[in-house]
Homo-oligomer: A and B are copies of this chain.
Amino acid sequence: MKVITGGVTAAKGFEAAGVEASIKYKNRKDMALIYSQKPCVLAGTFTSNVVKAAPVLWDKKVVEESAFGQAVIVNAGIANACTGKEGYEYCKKTALRGSKALGIPEESVLVASTGVIGMQLPIDRIEAGIDKLAGAKADTIEAGTQAAEAIMTTDTHSKQAAVEIEIGGVTVTLGGMSKGSGMIHPNMCTMLAFVTTDAVISKDVLTKIVKEDVTDTFNMISVDGDTSTNDTLLVMANGMAGNEEIKEGTPEFEAFKEAVHYINETLAKMMAGDGEGATALIEAKVIGAAAKEDARKLSKSVVSSSLTKAAVYGHDANFGRMICALGYSGVSFDPDKIELFFESKAGRIQVFKDGVSTNYDEEEASRILAQPEVRILADMKMGSEEATAWGCDLTYDYVKINADYRS
């Protein structure tokens, strides 16, 4: 697997664009297009929230019922959630206009929205934006970057990743982009992620890989514990690499799976580290758990704890808060056996052992926690399962952004 530059246009036959459409923001790109020159096999995962935004309902239908997908039209600024029948009609109109502008079937057009809940989309501006996107689309890396920038809300930077792998002597490419700034518990109502590949692969196999992988990637990040109405991950495979079809149980399957995991984990970590107001990416790694699901619960509990997040912001080695978060995760363990460490580029320190503080050096611990990437490592001493979750610190700016959001 080779990491390369680029995003959704890295794979063969994929084009993209990002344009200004004045949906809600002014003077910035706020609509994006992903387009494939050939029809794509689709896989998708969507929010578990009972309240699903209109574009989520639309995309679920396309992923489940359409023979293929060929384009995604995204807007930032308004989430098109809690918008009733009118909101769903706007998804249809978006797909219809995309169909005309791109010359592809209406039911192959996916849509995604991110932004404020409860407002209706200005459909005239959406439609004008689609025409602009169709005119601007290109298969360049720059076009992919324009799209990645256009889907941002409170993100401070765009998020892309791409890799190449060899499948039977043929180069297969995968690329992706996402916006945060959170995920299974996201934030400004929406994490969106889009992954494209030119691999030849069936829908069933692609779906299986994606559903399994999100459990350890997108579903393991948290910014604020709020699960959005719009969360969407779409994966599109157009087969243009010309590889022999990827079948389950083969080395090619494993290689492709690893590549999907790299893209998903990279995008997920970028979102966690760019959570609203964040100054640090927090990684909670749990080892020595009795079961995989225990390890996931434990690590996610630590990374979701407001008090842990505030302590990291303050570079305060207040380890009791992490032990406390492990304790209320719902997983049973012996507090006297577990060990806790802090790790970063500045070093590694053990802070908890045999049920008590190790009497570590507070200044050294604080230096370790002052880095932009910080790992909290817990060894549960109960087995050999492990999991990692990602989040960010809790800062004044998180409160500022969210107390002021709509104004």
Contacts and interface: CB of A to CB of B under 8 A. Distances in A.
Contact of A318 (B187, B304, B405): B405
A306 B224 contact: yes
Interface stretch (A36-44, A170-178, A226-234): A226-234
Interface string A369-407: 000000000000000000000000011101110111111
B82 A323 contact: yes
Given A335-B50, A399-B313, A402-B311, A328 B226 contact: yes
B116 A320 contact: yes
B50 A118 contact: no
- Copy number in this complex? 2
Interface in A15-54: 48-52
A311 B118 contact: no
A99 interface: no
Contacts of A81: 320, 324
B327 A50 contact: yes
B117 A51 contact: no
A246 interface: no
A241 interface: no
A83 interface: yes
A327 B225 contact: no
Interface stretch (A5-13, A64-72, A142-150, A351-359): A351-359
A4 interface: no
A325 interface: yes
Nearest to A319: B118
A311 to B, nearest CB: 7
A102 interface: no
